Amino acid sequence: MNVEPEVIRRMNDYKEPRFPAIEPYGERAVTVRWSRVMDEGLLSAIRALLFELEQHPLPGMIEAVGAYASVTIYFDPLRLYSFGRAHSRPNSPVNIMIGLIRERLERKRPQEDWSKGPIHRIPVCYGGRWGPDLEDVAEIHGMHPDDVIHMHSEPIYDVNMLGFAPGFPYLGGLPAGLETPRLQTPRTSVAAGSVGIADKQTGIYPLEIPGGWRIIGRTYTTLFSIQSEPPALLQPGDRIQFMPISETEFDRKRRDR
Amino acid sequence: MAEMEVLRPGLFSVFQDRGRVGVQKYGVPAGGAMDELSMEAANALVGNNRGTAVLEMTISGPTLQFSEAGLIAVCGGDFEMTVNGKSVPLWRPIFIAAGTILRIGHVHRGCRLYLAVAGGFQLPETLGSASTYVKAGFGGWQGRPLQQGDRIALSDPKDCIQELIRRRSEGLPRETVRFEQWGAGRELIPRIGKHLMIRAVKGMEYEQFSPEEQDRFWSRVYTVRPQSDRMGVRLRSADSVETRSSDMVSESVMAGTVQVPADGQPIILMKDCQTSGGYPRIAQIIAADLPVIGQLSPGVRISLRPIPLEDAEDLYILQQVELEQFRQGVQLRMKMERMV
């Protein structure tokens, strides 16, 4: 079993971040915030809390949504109000929720490193008809398109959060040499599966929507489907690696699906 | 089977309910009726359960024909409305004969109008809701606004409502309509007008604005811009909100959040807003006033007033209690009508 040393390493390396701030967000949500700036060391605490709340939801809770450095918990004030009356916590629903979250965070401290989610390998056909902006991106950086492909497919990217569109992953870890401004005029329609770059970010369009990202390739992997359960392929903490494939392979795989 | 045919689609007519629950973590907007109170009033008036999908109509409404006798209610902004050519009031139960034509005209004041039919529309649920999310093309009726020629099947009302419809529309000649003399009271009708006061609590990044800007923010008059839609109500003021460039990272956001982009012109996020945002959030519209935001039309002026969070919570709970009392009142009334 080569799993054990990994677990031990994780536990030894793991440093618990300081206790987060718990703030009301209107009457119907509370945000647990570790930081106001990006901090990759927080992914573990965020994922641990999301997992804990998924397994053991709080009373009146609707859902918990993770972001770069925070978790926002949405709830129904009426249910919290009833809960407060039943448990002699005569208080405002928001304050009851803040108390419940604080108790939970104090009681269940993560004992291991949660930062490493599964790696999804995403096959991408770069350039040509599937990546119309690859040549431009290469030109902007004075590189050969093959170098752009190599640089883009080398790192393992972290899924920091989902947003912008259903199933859209905000990926951290784009090499600085590939940072490219958005298109001057956004396209009225970008196909689902398009892989793009915008400023310091790279991402994948899960649906056909308008957008101004520079499209360098296309994947046939489905990132979002209303028929799937869960509907989004990725979640915060998951990791992605892009695998370059040829146009022939892309066409064949797409036909097969 | 009873159905509703679209003779003229109107500007933007989409089905909405209370929206999607528990899907923001997948990056899916919550959606739902922009003015939930008007939606629930309409549902109550036809004996539907809370959160039954209704037709949300914006600025200029559709013309619709119903194949069978039924019970409908129309609530929301101040729109022109005729049933079989006759002017009929909003906020009332309306008994219609088979073949009835409902024509919704242009809005006078407000922005949105809600049509509920007894029994509800037969719509598939997408991610647990019948709300239309046009940008991604799912939910509601084929993921899009209504078009001419669409025919939407209607579900059968509950037995007790069916009995009431049968009694009321019995002998009702084809071209007529019968509406009740009672309806929703003032407490459920959203405030609409040319200049409105909207209540808010401090936003997540309120402290990042200078004390002078905080004072100015609450004293300005903002005008609703025409670019407003289901994603957000865009505001304009004579002087822009002084925002400091901050390196804040994106956090989860929701309807009612007032964010200030770099241009200093605030946006009130609404039901189809993205699930995350990176602009400083100066204020949060109180939940009880969110239906008022859903009725804001371009050119309307608003002022924002800060209230304590505890007051906002009380106002929301009170509003929900009033809605529930109204629902029970309607049920009692309909029960009595069946007995006489």
- For every residue of B119-183, which 3-state class applies, written as one string? CCECCCCECCECCCECCCCECCCCCCCCCCCCEEEECCCCHHHHHHHHHHHCCCCCCCEEECCCC
Q: Which of residues 8-27 of A touch B (CB under 8 A)?
A: 23-27
Q: Which of residues 127-166 of B touch A (CB under 8 A)?
A: 127, 135-138
Beta strands in chain B (DSSP E): 3-8, 13-16, 54-58, 63-66, 70-83, 86-87, 94-96, 101-117, 151-153, 177-179, 195-202, 222-224, 232-236, 251-252, 257-259, 267-269, 276-277, 281-285, 301-306
HSE, side-chain direction, 13 A CA sphere, residue A27: 29
Residue A195 gets which letter from DSSP? E
* Non-local CB neighbours of A217 within 8 Å, separated by 6+ positions: A124, A125, A126, A127, A130, A131, A134, A149, A194, A195, A242
Phi, psi of A111 (to 5 degrees): -105, 0
Closest CA to A239 of A120, A125, A127, A134: A120
Interface test with B, best of A25, A58, A208 (most B CBs within 10 A): A25
Residues of A in contact with B50 (CB under 8 A): none
Give pLDDT tens digits for B127-153. Answer: 999 999 999 999 999 999 999 999 999
In order of B69, B82, B85, the CA distances from B175 in angstroms are 12, 12, 9
HSE, side-chain direction, 13 A CA sphere, residue B276: 29
Of A186 and B142, more confident: B142
Mean pLDDT of B264-275: 95
- pTM metric for this prediction: 0.92
Please report, as a single letter, which amino acid is at residue A95: N
Closest Cα of chain A to B321: distance in Å?
10
Establish whether the linkage from the previous residue to A230 is cis, with ω within 30° of 0.
yes
Residue B153, beta-bridge partner list:
B3
In order of A171, B126, B205, the CA distances from B246 in angstroms are 21, 38, 10
Residue contact A67–B312, C-beta within 8 A: no
Residues of A in contact with B311 (CB under 8 A): none
Per-residue pLDDT band at B322 (split at 50, 70, 90): very high
- The span from the CA of B244 to the CA of B209, in Å, is 7
Whose tokens are 């939970």? That residue is: A104
Poorest-confidence range of A86-95, B24-33, B57-66, B132-141? A86-95
Q: Which of residues 201-260 of B touch A (CB under 8 A)?
A: 201, 204, 246-252, 254, 256-257
Three-state DSSP at A25 gives: strand
Residue B15, beta-bridge partner list:
B55
* Non-local CB neighbours of B69 within 8 Å, separated by 6+ positions: B95, B96, B97, B98, B165, B166, B169, B172
Q: Tokens in use for A116?
A: 């490493």
Give pLDDT tens digits for A209-224. Answer: 888 899 999 999 999 9
- The span from the CA of A44 to the CA of B147, in Å, is 48
- The span from the CA of B13 to the CA of B33, in Å, is 12
Contacts A–B by Cβ distance under 8 A:
131
- Comparing CB atoms, the residue among A24, A72, A78 nearest residue B309 is A24
- The strand pair at B86-87 and B70-83 is best described as antiparallel
* Non-local CB neighbours of B267 within 8 Å, separated by 6+ positions: B232, B233, B234, B235, B258, B259, B260, B261, B279
Per-residue pLDDT band at A13 (split at 50, 70, 90): low
**Whole-complex ipTM:** 0.94
A76 touches chain B (CB under 8 A): no
Give pLDDT tens digits for A25-52. Answer: 999 999 999 988 877 778 888 989 999 9
pLDDT at A185: 87
Closest CA to B188 of B41, B31, B316: B41
Residues of B in contact with A232 (CB under 8 A): 26-28
Structural contact between residues A60 and A100, judged by C-beta atoms closer than 8 angstroms:
no
- The span from the CA of A135 to the CA of A12, in Å, is 46
Give pLDDT tens digits for B193-249. Answer: 999 999 999 999 999 999 999 999 999 999 999 999 999 999 999 899 988 766 678
